[in-house]
């Protein structure tokens, strides 16, 4: 069937992000399997039957060994369920795969449980962030060919794919994820590496929100206890800003690991940010912030409160850092306008107008309330002919990279680019860098 140059070869598309792993068939509009990247593991106690092969190795190798033996809990019921002594880890760091040990398990889970298919029968397209290292992508190719026995493989850049997802070959892609915010100039389907700018801005916003909630204030003398609901046996309704009345599940407390606790608190904060936090559309203004209606939010402990102007302070972090923050932390992540300015200044002057006319705002983090409008206003101030394209459909923004991959892998003209197993065996790792430009 020929539809707009499409030729389906039932390829799989795999998009690994910090918050979730997306997998699905090429040619579809949403990934069928969305699996959290964070996974839980319970370190197995030394099996008495298993004779330790080498004793007294270095501790890092030991840790890796333990992790390998650990029982992994992956998927929706993985880290979010309470298990005694379960640790939670995330293989990603700064948007890159940092720890490859659990990656095959995660991918296997996505393919076999999520899609119920055998990867050995499908060509697989994997995504990578624009700042991915060659070693990383070669490792990914190795996993795919050696562990999953895929017939063909390709690794493509999320910047390019996000541009493709909205039907553009040339674009300035602003991608805000869970860990990283990046600005990627894409020209004719190629990333301009010199113009690439990224920072760990979303992490800063997250940390700021957490700080905001847990710091004691006049209104909330004790700060807010971010206790996961798995640890609470009962609670009573209370008035806003009154100390909560709840009782803990004492039986579970000893089994709580710090990593699980931290992960859950992070999730709590994220949920608060998603439902309450926002950003003003025209810069910070005390009066304007005060005039906006406050929003109520209840935490698992039963504590609830109305959040007024402070909820807009969170979003402000995306655009401007206070002078004292900059002074105290020289390595503070760059704000969005700074990233865009940095990226544009590294591009050819000829290209700037084209890129500004094709700004693509994408990534789950871009769904932050009011962010699109604010960004548009900020940019309008500096650049006259600027046009932001932000998909209105939240799914398209969350899975922009995957969607672009889905489009790319179903194109008839793309099929000559696959790295086949034969080529992998013949040329080895070098082929990845040659083919996937």
Partner 1 sequence: MAGGASAADVRSILALPSPSTPGPSQPKPTAPKTARKPEGISRELYSLIGPSAPSLTAQLAKPRLKQKPNLGRGNKVAKWRVLAFVWRVYVLKEEWQEFSNPGRADSLKLCHWVKATTDPTAEYQFAKYNVPSTVYTYSQDEYNRLLEDKDWTKEETDYLFNVVREYDLRFYVVADRYDYPGGQPRTIEDLKDRYYSVCRRLIRNRPWAGDESSKVQLVASFFYDKDREVTRKKYIASLENRTPDQIAEEEALYVEVKRLEQNERRFAKERDELLKTIAGVDSGLPGVAADDEVQIALFGDPKKKKKGGNGMDIDSPISGPSGIISLGPSTPTRRVQSAKSVAYDALHCILRSDVMPTNVPPTKAAHQPVYLRSSRLPMPKASMAPKINQALAELDVSHTRLVMPTRENCSQLEGLFDAAAALVDTKKVVDKVDQEIRVLKARLAGRASVGARSEGADADSKNQGEQAEDGERDAEGEAEGEATEKADRAVSVAASVRSYSRKRSKRSASVSSVDTSTTSATRASRKRQRN
Please, which of residues 95-114 interact with partner 1 by CB under 8 A?
A: 112-113
Sites for partner 1 among residues 190-229 (CB under 8 A): 190, 192-195
C-alpha to C-alpha distance for 243 and 302, rounded to whole angstroms:
9
> Cα-flanking dihedrals φ and ψ of residue 96, to 5°?
-105, 155
Instruction: Select from 54-62, 317-325, 372-380, 416-424 the region that touches partner 1 (CB under 8 A).
Output: 416-424
Q: How far is the CB of 350 from partner 1 (least distance, A)?
A: 7
Tokens for 398?
């969350």
Q: Which is nearer to partner 1, 8 or 298 (CB)?
A: 8
> Using the rule CB under 8 A, which residue among 9, 320, 332, 341 binds partner 1?
9
Q: Considering the rule CB under 8 A, would residue 8 count as an interface residue with partner 1?
A: yes
| Shortest Å, Cβ 186 to partner 1 | 10
Does position 341 bind partner 1 by CB under 8 A?
Answer: no
Stretch that binds partner 1, among 42-50, 60-68, 249-257, 410-418 (CB under 8 A): 410-418
Q: Which helix (H) or strand (E) holds 315?
A: helix 310-316
Element (H, E) at 127: strand 124-128
Of 262, 348, 380, 433, the one binding partner 1 (CB under 8 A) is 348
- Answer for the pair 36, 115: CB distance below 8 angstroms, yes or no: no
In the complex, what is the shortest distance from the CB of residue 344 to partner 1, in angstroms, rounded to a whole number? 9
Q: Is 3 in the site for partner 1 (CB under 8 A)?
A: no
Least distance from partner 1 to the Cβ atom of residue 103, Å:
20
What is the Cα–Cα distance from 336 to 183, expressed in whole angstroms? 8
> Least CB distance from residue 409 to partner 1, whole Å?
11
Please tell me whether residue 324 binds partner 1 under the rule CB under 8 A: no
Beta bridge partners of 183: 174, 197
- Distance (Å, rounded) from C-alpha 29 to C-alpha 126? 16
Shortest spacing between CB 155 and partner 1, in angstroms:
16
Q: Are 28 and 406 in contact (CB under 8 A)?
A: yes
Instruction: Report how many residues bind partner 1 under the rule CB under 8 A.
Output: 41
> Residues 168-197: x/- map of binding to partner 1 (CB under 8 A)?
-------------------xx-x-xxxx--
Per the CB < 8 A criterion, the answer to whether 150 and 124 are in contact is yes
- Phi and psi for 87 in degrees, rounded to 5? -95, 155
CA distance 134 to 4: 33
Residue 29 within binding range of partner 1, rule CB under 8 A: no
Maximum Cα–Cα distance for the chain, whole Å? 72
Q: Where does 224-257 have alpha helices with state H?
A: none
Residue placing its CB nearer to partner 1 in the complex, 275 or 420: 420
Pairing verdict, β 359-362 and 171-176: parallel
Residue 195 vs 372, nearer CB to partner 1: 195
What's phi and psi for 427, nearest 5 deg? -100, -20
- Show the binding pattern over residues 125-154: x = contacts partner 1 (CB under 8 A), - = does not: --------------------------xx--
């Amino acid at each position: 069937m020929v539809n707009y140059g499409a030729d389906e070869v039932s390829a799989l598309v795999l998009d690994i992000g910090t918050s979730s792993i997306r997998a699905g068939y090429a040619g579809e509009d949403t990934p069928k399997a969305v699996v959290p990247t964070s996974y839980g593991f319970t370190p197995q106690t030394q099996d008495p039957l298993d004779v330790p092969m080498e004793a007294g190795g270095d501790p890092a190798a030991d840790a890796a060994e333990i992790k390998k033996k650990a029982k992994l809990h992956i998927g929706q019921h993985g880290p979010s369920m309470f298990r005694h002594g379960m640790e939670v880890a995330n293989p990603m760091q700064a948007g890159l795969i940092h720890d490859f040990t659990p990656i095959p398990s995660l991918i296997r889970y996505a393919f076999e449980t999520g899609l119920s298919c055998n990867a050995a029968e499908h060509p697989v397209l994997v995504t990578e962030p624009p700042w991915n290292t060659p070693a990383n992508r070669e490792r990914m190719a190795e996993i795919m060919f050696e562990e999953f026995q895929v017939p063909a493989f390709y690794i493509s850049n999320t910047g390019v794919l996000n541009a493709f997802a909205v039907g553009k070959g040339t674009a300035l892609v602003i991608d805000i994820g869970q860990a990283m915010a990046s600005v990627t100039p894409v020209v004719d389907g190629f990333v301009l590496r010199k113009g690439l700018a990224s920072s760990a801005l979303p992490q800063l916003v997250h940390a700021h929100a957490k700080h905001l909630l847990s710091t004691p204030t006049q209104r909330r003398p004790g700060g807010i206890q971010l206790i996961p609901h798995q640890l609470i046996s009962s609670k009573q309704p209370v008035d806003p800003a009154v100390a909560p009345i709840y009782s803990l599940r004492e039986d579970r407390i000893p089994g709580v690991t710090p990593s699980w606790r931290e992960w859950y608190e992070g999730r709590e904060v994220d949920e608060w940010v998603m439902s309450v936090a926002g950003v003003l559309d025209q810069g910070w203004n005390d009066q304007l912030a005060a005039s906006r209606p406050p929003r109520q939010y209840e935490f698992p402990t039963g504590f609830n409160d109305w959040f007024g102007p402070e909820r807009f302070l969170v979003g402000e972090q995306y655009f401007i850092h206070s002078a004292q923050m900059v002074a105290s932390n020289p390595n503070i992540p760059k704000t969005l306008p700074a990233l865009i300015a940095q990226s544009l200044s590294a591009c050819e002057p000829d290209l700037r107008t084209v890129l500004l006319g094709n700004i693509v705002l994408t990534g789950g983090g871009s769904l932050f309330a009011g962010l699109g409008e604010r960004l548009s206003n900020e940019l309008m101030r500096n650049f006259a002919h600027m046009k932001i394209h932000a998909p209105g459909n939240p799914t398209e923004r969350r899975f922009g990279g995957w969607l672009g991959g889905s489009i790319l892998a179903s194109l008839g003209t793309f099929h000559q680019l696959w790295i086949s197993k034969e080529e992998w065996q013949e040329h080895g790792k070098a082929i990845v860098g040659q083919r996937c430009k």
